[in-house]
């Protein structure tokens, strides 16, 4: 994430239509989270997070909120052009995955309890519309970490 600009929460209204996507029938999603990491933040009050949620089930689900001991608030952002917009949910498609990555959708940790150091683990809980929450111990990695290397 090279751009640090964030729009205010009022922009949520612009993307609320996303909540209409997905399936409401419930229990058929089978979710698994992997590859989560938080780059050591440059700033003291904000950090970003990336991970992949795989859905091997036949029903879509939605990531509806994220909580963490690191932050007073965790928001989900979608990157549109050069700006990030907060969204109320992110879809995990049936038989597919939700990928949170640099330059794309990601998590923003706001109001940090402390500035995390490299090597630290951050507790993150993913909450879904239908599936049970997933709790992760997410490593804090180097600021310029690239999972593809």
The nearer residue to Cu ion, 9 or 95, going by C-beta atoms, is 9
The nearer residue to Cu ion, 60 or 84, going by C-beta atoms, is 84
**Hey, which bits of the chain come out as E strands?**
31-39, 46-55, 61-68, 71-80, 83-87, 90-92, 97-100, 106-112, 121-128, 134-141
Q: Residue 9: phi, psi to the nearest 5? A: -65, -15
The nearer residue to Cu ion, 103 or 132, going by C-beta atoms, is 103
Min dist. Cβ of residue 4 to Cu ion (A): 8
Q: DSSP 3-state assignment of 16?
A: helix
Q: DSSP 3-state assignment of 102?
A: coil
Q: List the structure tokens of 11.
A: 């922009």
Min dist. Cβ of residue 82 to Cu ion (A): 12
Confirm or reject binding of residue 108 to Cu ion (CB under 5 A): yes
Q: DSSP 3-state assignment of 145?
A: coil
Dist. CA 92–CA 117, nearest whole Å: 30
**Contact call for residues 15 and 85 (beta carbons, < 8 A):** yes
Min dist. Cβ of residue 46 to Cu ion (A): 8
Stretch that binds Cu ion, among 23-31, 34-42, 73-81, 136-144 (CB under 5 A): 73-81
**Strand pairing class (46-55; 106-112):** antiparallel
Confirm or reject binding of residue 77 to Cu ion (CB under 5 A): yes
Stretch that binds Cu ion, among 9-17, 72-80, 112-120, 131-139 (CB under 5 A): 72-80
Min dist. Cβ of residue 108 to Cu ion (A): 4
Confirm or reject binding of residue 84 to Cu ion (CB under 5 A): yes
Min dist. Cβ of residue 95 to Cu ion (A): 28
The nearer residue to Cu ion, 74 or 108, going by C-beta atoms, is 108
Q: Which residues bind Cu ion (CB under 5 A)?
A: 77, 84, 108
């Amino acid at each position: 994430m090279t751009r640090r600009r964030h729009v205010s929460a009022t922009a949520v209204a612009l993307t609320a239509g996303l909540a209409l996507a997905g399936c409401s029938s419930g229990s058929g999603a089978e979710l698994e989270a992997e590859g989560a990491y938080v780059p050591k933040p440059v700033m003291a009050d904000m950090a970003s997070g990336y991970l992949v949620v795989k859905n091997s089930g036949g029903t879509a689900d939605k990531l509806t909120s994220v909580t963490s001991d690191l932050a007073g608030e965790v928001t989900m952002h979608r990157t549109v052009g050069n700006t990030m917009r907060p969204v109320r949910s992110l879809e995990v498609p049936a038989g597919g995955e939700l990928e949170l990555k640099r330059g794309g959708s990601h998590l923003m940790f706001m109001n940090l309890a402390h500035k995390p150091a490299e090597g630290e683990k951050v507790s993150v809980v993913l909450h879904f519309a239908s599936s049970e929450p997933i709790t992760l111990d997410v490593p804090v990695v180097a600021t310029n970490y690239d999972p593809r290397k």
